[in-house]
Amino acid sequence: MLKPQFNAMGLGFHLKGASKVLGFWHSGNTAGYTGVLFGLTETGHGAIVLTNSNAGEWLAIEVIRSIAETYNWPIMKHIVSLNNIEQEKYVGNYLSNRKNGLGIGLEKEQLYFKQAGTSKRYNLYPIGNNSFAMVEKPDNISFVFEEQQGKMLLTVYENGGHATSLTKQ
């Protein structure tokens, strides 16, 4: 049930974790109520948040993020900020062995990425040392930068384990 089947889904659960499955969640609602269940795969910790609102999923997720911060869970944490100087070293065009391209840019103190050949940009937010996530999928896709032998390398982890390596050109 907790192995990636399609995108970020297991069998019945949404999966969290970029380099491996670290957690799972499911939500549901009925007239006037919404509930979210969240659990960690390695420790068995978790939370269930119930709201008395048809649109309570975002509130429940913020409550779970606060629990994740308090108990230092490896995922679902709040986003931290960096200054421009720290972010500038990541800016550039990255290519993989398959010649797939990815551009990392910086505008108005906001790091972003876009795939080659597209105009859609996605903002990146720091989640740890040289690690970034996008707000649309903060726990399913992570961008990890690493400097090796004077070159900047980028590994993009997706949906519980798929990794793509790119090199800054």
**pLDDT tens-digit series, residues 58-100:** 889 889 988 988 898 888 876 666 666 678 889 999 998 776 7
- Number of Cβ within 10 Å of residue 109's Cβ equals 10
Rounded to two decimals, the pTM is 0.59
pLDDT digits (tens, 9 = 90+) for 107-132: 888 889 898 888 889 988 887 778 88
Q: Minimum mean pLDDT among 6-10, 23-27, 103-107: which range?
A: 6-10
Sole residue written with tokens 């999966």: 15
What is d(CA 119, CA 154) in angstroms, rounded to the nearest whole number? 20
131 burial (CB, 10 Å; 0-12 / 13-18 / 19+) is middle
- Number of Cβ within 10 Å of residue 112's Cβ equals 17
Read off the tokens for 2.
């907790």
| pLDDT score of 43 | 92
Q: Is the pLDDT of residue 49 over 90?
A: yes
What is d(CA 54, CA 113) in angstroms, rounded to the nearest whole number? 33
CA quadruple 65, 66, 72, 74: dihedral, nearest 10: 0
